[in-house]
Amino acid sequence: MDKVEMGIEEQHEMVAKAFVNHYYHLFDTNRAALATLYHHTSMLSFEGQKFLGVEDIGRKLTQLPFEQCKHFISTIDSQLSPFGGGILVFVSGNLQLSGEEHQLKFSQMFQLIPLPHGSFCVQNDIFRLNYG
Amino acid sequence: MDKVEMGIEEQHEMVAKAFVNHYYHLFDTNRAALATLYHHTSMLSFEGQKFLGVEDIGRKLTQLPFEQCKHFISTIDSQLSPFGGGILVFVSGNLQLSGEEHQLKFSQMFQLIPLPHGSFCVQNDIFRLNYG
């Protein structure tokens, strides 16, 4: 057997991991570019505040009140969404803001939706710090 | 105006809150009944372990290695899913196991899918403890 068959579960787990690596790498190195991962119906809930669409979400992400941060990912869980080939991604980890001594714990979930040319965009994004 | 119009955002936030109250009340008082909230294609990821369908999920939830627990909910976020009228619900909080001194922090996400007769079932469920 030359052909390696990949199960649908392995496929969406691979997409989820690749997305998570890409997302937080962009967040930590070129935050303004994150907006390209969203589209006009995308939703972001950030610490309870709601944002809709590329411009609104991009503005929020670039105007966060810190210069730099670094994410450390602890867990990535993914599941298929029942409609439209979407993938639910659930992330937990820590983030370190520049100039701050202590790391902050966070959890974040995404729904990724497939685009016609084979990539994915972020349809849903919910972020919460996990306070102590 | 006698009729009170409720926006679609208020509607799904109300469903999310009612679901969260119902789910954790059942979890803390009658855990075996939780299985009725799932259906045959439902998925649960519990601390990285995957379970599929009512029986498998119900068995996992009833066989968790503690008798009783109490959930304290800190935040509930919800967004509409783009297909099929689904609602994404993201919960953070603490749980207290009987006989344990300290509470544990957790995050959990659900995708709720509407049923024909007006109620919802849990299609996706991802649970993680947030370790310190």
* CA proximity to A108, closest of A66, A73, A67, A68: A73
Handedness of CA A19, A105, B111, B37 (dihedral sign): positive
Q: What ipTM score was computed for the predicted complex, to two decimals?
A: 0.92
Per-residue pLDDT at A4 exceeds 90: no
Report H helices in B5-52: 8-29
* pLDDT tens string A89-126: 999 999 999 888 899 999 999 999 999 888 999 999 99
Q: In CATH, what is the architecture of B8-129?
A: Roll (3.10)
- Flag if A86 and B83 touch (Cβ within 8 Å): yes
- Flag if B107 and A128 touch (Cβ within 8 Å): yes
User: Which chain B residues have a beta carbon less than 8 Å from that of A92?
Assistant: 107, 128, 130
Tokens (6 digits) for A98: 């520049």
pLDDT at A14 (0 to 100): 94
Give the single-character DSSP code of B3: S
pLDDT at B4 (0 to 100): 61
- Flag if A128 and B77 touch (Cβ within 8 Å): yes
Mean pLDDT score, A28-55 = 97
pLDDT at A13 (0 to 100): 94
Per-residue pLDDT at A3 exceeds 60: no
Q: Which residue has the tokens 């996992």?
A: B60
The beta-carbon neighbor of A128 closest among B75, B79, B131 is B75
Q: Does B68 touch chain A (CB under 8 A)?
A: no
> How long a stretch of residues is chain A?
132
pLDDT at B100 (0 to 100): 87
| SS3 of residue B117 by DSSP | coil
Instruction: For residue B1, name the pLDDT band (cuts at 50, 70, 90).
Output: very low
CA distance A62 to chain B (A): 22
Q: Which amino acid does the sequence have at B97?
A: L
pLDDT at A1 (0 to 100): 43
* pLDDT tens string B8-55: 888 899 999 999 999 999 999 999 999 999 999 999 999 999 999 999
> How far are the Cα atoms of A37, B31, B71 from residue B26, in angstroms, in the given order?
38, 6, 11
User: Which chain B residues have a beta carbon less than 8 Å from that of A81?
Assistant: 81, 83, 86, 111, 123-124
Q: Report domain extents, chain A.
A: 8-129
* pLDDT tens string A64-77: 988 889 999 999 99
Enumerate helices (H) and strands (E) in chain B, giving the number of each: 2, 6
Percent of chain A with pLDDT over 90: 77
Instruction: For residue A132, name the pLDDT band (cuts at 50, 70, 90).
Output: low
Q: What is the mean pLDDT of chain A?
A: 92
Per-residue pLDDT at A16 exceeds 60: yes
pLDDT at B83 (0 to 100): 83
How far separated are the first and last CA of chain B, in Å rounded?
52
The angle subtended at Cα B10 by Cα B5 and Cα B12, nearest 5°, is 120
Percent of chain B with pLDDT over 70: 95
Enumerate helices (H) and strands (E) in chain A, giving the number of each: 2, 6
SS (H, E, C) A62-112: HCCCCCCEEEEEEEEEEEECCCCCCEEEEEEEEEEECCCCCCEEEEEEEEE
